[in-house]
Amino acid sequence: MYRLRNWLISDNGVSEEDMLQNGNRLMTGNGYLGYRGTVSEAEPSWMPAVIVSGLYDRQGDLWREPVNAPDCLYAKLFVRDEPLMASGENVLSHEQTLDFRYGIYSRETSWTVDGVSVTLHAERITDICNVHRLCMKYAISADAPVTITLKQGINCAVHDLNGPHLGNFRLDKDEKNGLLVLDADTLEKAVPLSVACTVDVAGDVVCGTEVSGEGAFHVYTIKADKDKRFDFFVYGAVYSGADTAEDCGVKARETALSSLAEGWESILSGHRKKWDEIWLKGDVIIEGDDYAQHALRYSLYHLHSIAPRHAKSLSVPARGLSGQTYKGAVFWDTEMFISPYFLCTEPDLVARFIRYRIHTLPGAKRKASEYGYRGAFYAWESQESGDDACSLFNVTDVFTGRPVRTYFRDKQIHISADIVHAIRTYINVTGDTEILKEGAMEVILECARFFLSYLYYSPEHDRYELLDVTGPDEYHERVNNNAFTNRIVFSVFETVQTCVDLLKKQDGGFIEKLFAELSFDTDMAFMHEVMKKFYLPQPDSGNVIEQFDHYFKLEDCSLDTVKSRLCDPREYWGGANGVAGNTQIIKQADVVLMLVLFGNEYSDEIKRANLAYYEPRTEHGSSLSNCMYAQLSCASGNSEWAYPFFIKTAEIDITGTSKQFAGGIYIGGTHPAANGGAWMTAVQGFCGFSMNDGKISCKPRLPEKWKRVVFSVVYNGEHIEVTVTKDGYSLCMK
Ligand code: BGC
């Protein structure tokens, strides 16, 4: 059972289910590597993983997914050939803890063997200073004489959802330095990956090596006794050809050896210092509500542990670096749910996300042309090239095991508009127009062009419409005029206009040249025509906006009724035969999301009417949903109603109770979008914070319990501390 205390989360569970949950709950990461919170002797079925960001591979015709590197912090104890496992029957006590202020994982386990108790205390970090580095302190003690064997080294028997992904293994040992190095290549594109580790041990131990199909290990024989402790310091390194042009093997060797020379204490101290700096800019203090405080900080920790500070152009997958679910792909989650926090605290990171979309523009253009459109249709599930990893059959039927046709890939056209929205917001908040010249303007124009070629002119209504789309609510596929999609696509056209005007003022030559290169003049003229007659669904007489054409005609039944129709709890609710499809039950915030994003255009009455209508009809089957209902409720004056939705969002990776399956497909892992949603609700929702066109403002509407909220934002390049109480707010330079 987990316990949450000040900056600490612990769990003493030992079942297979606990091991899986703690893998997410206690994970550490640095934006490059994600190390799951499993014990160092983990069985593959407990899903240990060292996920390398930006490195993907495909095995046969299975789904492409991120590569799980061999584990260089692997360690397993034995007494007389019997392994000491966290799940063993001879366990006296076991606890794993994550210090989420400093990203330090620790575990303490005691076993009894023939009346002797053996204790292991281990700590490890995924170094946030040198992102290629993994370090562990591993301390063994006993209360009476006993001979213990420790097998430590590089374990290749990794868990993969759709693997294996590595081959051509080459092992190198350097006995003098106690160094083990494993070089391998990915199977699909032969990208090199190297893992190295070395050990510093204090105490009298005998060491040998063991090389097998499972990996390369040091084997230590330890004569343990009362009052004797054996400390092992393991220094590991991971490099891949996706992140360096240099020789990965050489880099991994050098890093492991230089870490050995530097030593655990110094590395740990640098790591802590960097986390202190991160929290200086990124912390949010909530006074009066300890649970909300811990849950929000824990959410922010997860965002920082996947923030790609090391790369100029990289984004974050929908399940962070917590595993291979969702193919390690980047979704709209980054732009709409994760970017807002970083935009206010570390805008450089958002520039990296935007550059990732600039670099994957060719993939988006290929996708548009594959479907017969012009411009850029971004991948619904994007990997390193921008080609869509989303399959046409993205869910498995739980009854037949057969693939189910889904239209996420073909019809969630809003993805291209979400990206433009994020670019526009970035420019609005930071004033940095250089990014437009780096390629973001081309992204905007190509996305606009895609929508211009996708839209449909209805002669009956004399208006432009968007037909056959899927909105954020994936349970209703292939609908016409999804209100959210229409509004956000319209904002793409508005963005083209705004950015063109801006650039013309600054540097007319640039935009002229770009228009000529892309032959955009005709598109621009057509866009102006379209804007005059573009259909934006409006509220009805009861102030409710219909989610898409004829939505109100679908069966209007309760969520419980729809649930009662399920024959299997893991059934997929959408698709051709899903229980929600012919009803008004929706998966996640859709109209509500539109009202949050374009809040200035709608009255409080409209916001309240839509909340009241859609909330009882929402399953919140996506982790992206609750935070939007919470924000709209705050914006329309009801923070108390918003509070439980905030808590559900902020505690999602603490409780681990979110959906684990979509049809037959495993979707567990961490939830960065919800982590970002927790910040949005606390800061933009409860504090009513906004930063638009160079102006900061707050409209406090704190929940009853909250006395004061303090957070930081970057404003004109300066760090400003914002303090919000129930009665007002103040700003102070940091
Ligand atoms: C949601 C999408 C989301 C994806 C990844 C799905 O369940 O419906 O909106 O982008 O998960 O988080």
Ligand 1: residue of 624, 625, 653, 660 to mutate (most ligand atoms within 8 A of CB) is 624
Compute, in angstroms, the gap from residue 333 CA to the centroid of ligand 1: 7
**Farthest CA pair distance, the chain:** 90
Q: Are 194 and 183 in contact (CB under 8 A)?
A: yes
Calpha distance 352→347 (Å, rounded): 9
**Over 80: is that where the pLDDT of 443 sits?**
yes
Write down the pTM of the prediction.
0.97
Side-chain half-sphere CA neighbours of 632 within 13 A: 29
Instruction: Mark whether 334 and 223 lie in a shared domain.
Output: no
Instruction: Mark whether 622 and 509 lie in a shared domain.
Output: yes
If phi > 0 it is left, if psi is from -120 to 50 it is alpha, else beta; for residue 144 that is: beta
pLDDT value for 661: 79
Residues 34-57 have a mean pLDDT of 96
Instruction: Mark whether 266 and 122 lie in a shared domain.
Output: yes
Instruction: Mark whether 237 and 373 lie in a shared domain.
Output: no
Question: Using 50, 70 and 90 to split pLDDT, how confident is the model at 30?
Answer: very high
Residues 276-301 have a mean pLDDT of 98
Please write the tens of the pLDDT for every residue from 342-376.
Answer: 999 999 999 999 999 999 999 999 999 999 999 99
Closest-lying ligand 1 atom to the alpha carbon of residue 621: 7
pLDDT value for 508: 82
Instruction: Mark whether 56 and 124 lie in a shared domain.
Output: yes
In short, whether 406's Cβ falls inside 6 Å of ligand 1 is no
Residue-wise DSSP of 49-117: -EEEEEEEE--TTSPPEEEE--EEEEEEEEETTEEE-TT-TTEEEEEEEEETTTTEEEEEEEEEETTEE
Nearest CA to ligand 1 atom 11: 622
Instruction: Mark whether 200 and 311 lie in a shared domain.
Output: no
Does residue 706 sit in helix, strand or coil?
A: coil
Compute, in angstroms, the gap from residue 320 CA to the centroid of ligand 1: 13
Compute, in angstroms, the gap from residue 326 CA to the centroid of ligand 1: 9
In short, whether 665's Cβ falls inside 6 Å of ligand 1 is no
Instruction: Mark whether 213 and 291 lie in a shared domain.
Output: no
Residue 128 lies in a domain: yes
Domain that holds residue 639: 283-733
Question: Using 50, 70 and 90 to split pLDDT, how confident is the model at 400?
Answer: very high
Residue-wise DSSP of 522-535: HHHHHHHHHHHTB-
Please write the tens of the pLDDT for every residue from 305-324.
Answer: 999 999 999 999 999 999 99
Query: What does the mean pLDDT of the chain come to?
Result: 96
Does residue 555 sit in helix, strand or coil?
A: strand
- Type of residue at 370: E
Number of Cβ within 10 Å of residue 566's Cβ equals 13
In short, whether 669's Cβ falls inside 6 Å of ligand 1 is no
In short, whether 343's Cβ falls inside 6 Å of ligand 1 is no
User: Domain end: 249, 278, 307, which one?
Assistant: 278
In short, whether 469's Cβ falls inside 6 Å of ligand 1 is no
Nearest to 103 by CA among 35, 54, 196: 35
**Domain containing 198 — which CATH number?**
2.70.98.40
Calpha distance 165→190 (Å, rounded): 10
Compute, in angstroms, the gap from residue 330 CA to the centroid of ligand 1: 10
Instruction: Mark whether 320 and 345 lie in a shared domain.
Output: yes
Ligand 1: residue of 331, 332, 337, 383 to mutate (most ligand atoms within 8 A of CB) is 331
Residue 639 lies in a domain: yes
Instruction: Mark whether 243 and 319 lie in a shared domain.
Output: no
Instruction: Mark whether 626 and 646 lie in a shared domain.
Output: yes
Instruction: Mark whether 359 and 218 lie in a shared domain.
Output: no
Residue 30 lies in a domain: no
In short, whether 412's Cβ falls inside 6 Å of ligand 1 is no
pLDDT value for 572: 94
In short, whether 622's Cβ falls inside 6 Å of ligand 1 is yes
Q: Dihedrals φ, ψ of 212, to 5°?
A: -145, -175
Residue 533 lies in a domain: yes
pLDDT value for 478: 98
Question: Using 50, 70 and 90 to split pLDDT, how confident is the model at 684?
Answer: very high
In short, whether 29's Cβ falls inside 6 Å of ligand 1 is no
Cα torsion for 481, 485, 488, 493, to the nearest 10°?
A: -60
Compute, in angstroms, the gap from residue 603 CA to the centroid of ligand 1: 28
User: Domain end: 225, 253, 278, which one?
Assistant: 278
Please write the tens of the pLDDT for every residue from 228-264.
Answer: 999 999 999 999 999 999 999 999 999 999 999 999 9
Q: With DSSP H G I counted as helix, E B as strand and the rest as coil, what are the percentages for the chain, rounded to 5?
A: 35, 30, 35
In short, whether 410's Cβ falls inside 6 Å of ligand 1 is no
Please write the tens of the pLDDT for every residue from 699-711.
Answer: 999 999 999 999 9
Closest-lying ligand 1 atom to the alpha carbon of residue 472: 9
In short, whether 416's Cβ falls inside 6 Å of ligand 1 is no
pLDDT value for 8: 98
Q: Are 206 and 220 in contact (CB under 8 A)?
A: yes
pLDDT value for 177: 82
Name the domain count of the chain.
2
Residues annotated as part of the active site: 474
Q: Is the C-alpha dihedral spanning 325, 331, 333, 334 positive or negative?
A: positive
pLDDT value for 205: 86
Quick one: tokens of 45? 């079925």
Nearest CA to ligand 1 atom 8: 622
pLDDT value for 271: 98
Compute, in angstroms, the gap from residue 473 CA to the centroid of ligand 1: 9
Please write the tens of the pLDDT for every residue from 203-238.
Answer: 778 888 888 888 999 999 999 999 899 999 999 999
Question: Using 50, 70 and 90 to split pLDDT, how confident is the model at 475?
Answer: very high
Residue 12 lies in a domain: no
DSSP 8-class letter at 328: G
Please write the tens of the pLDDT for every residue from 62-98.
Answer: 999 999 999 999 999 999 999 999 999 999 999 999 9
Q: Helices (DSSP H) in 533-617: which residue ranges?
A: 559-564, 591-597, 604-614
Q: Which of 16-20, 133-137, 274-278, 626-630 has the lowest mean pLDDT?
A: 16-20
Residue 2 lies in a domain: no
Calpha distance 586→547 (Å, rounded): 10
Ligand 1: residue of 474, 620, 626, 667 to mutate (most ligand atoms within 8 A of CB) is 474
Q: Dihedrals φ, ψ of 501, to 5°?
A: -60, -45
Residue 262 lies in a domain: yes
**Over 80: is that where the pLDDT of 664 sits?**
no
pLDDT value for 50: 98
User: Domain end: 243, 278, 313, which one?
Assistant: 278
Question: Using 50, 70 and 90 to split pLDDT, how confident is the model at 290?
Answer: very high
Report the percentage of the chain scoring pLDDT > 90.
Answer: 92
**Over 80: is that where the pLDDT of 202 sits?**
no
The strand pairing partners of 339, in sequence order, are none
Please write the tens of the pLDDT for every residue from 580-629.
Answer: 999 999 999 999 999 999 999 999 999 999 999 999 999 999 999 999 99
**Domain containing 541 — which CATH number?**
1.50.10.10
Q: Are 583 and 547 in contact (CB under 8 A)?
A: no
Nearest CA to ligand 1 atom 9: 472
In short, whether 624's Cβ falls inside 6 Å of ligand 1 is yes
Closest-lying ligand 1 atom to the alpha carbon of residue 662: 7
Residues 167-188 have a mean pLDDT of 92
Residue 37 lies in a domain: no
Instruction: Mark whether 560 and 659 lie in a shared domain.
Output: yes
Compute, in angstroms, the gap from residue 21 CA to the centroid of ligand 1: 20
**Over 80: is that where the pLDDT of 694 sits?**
no
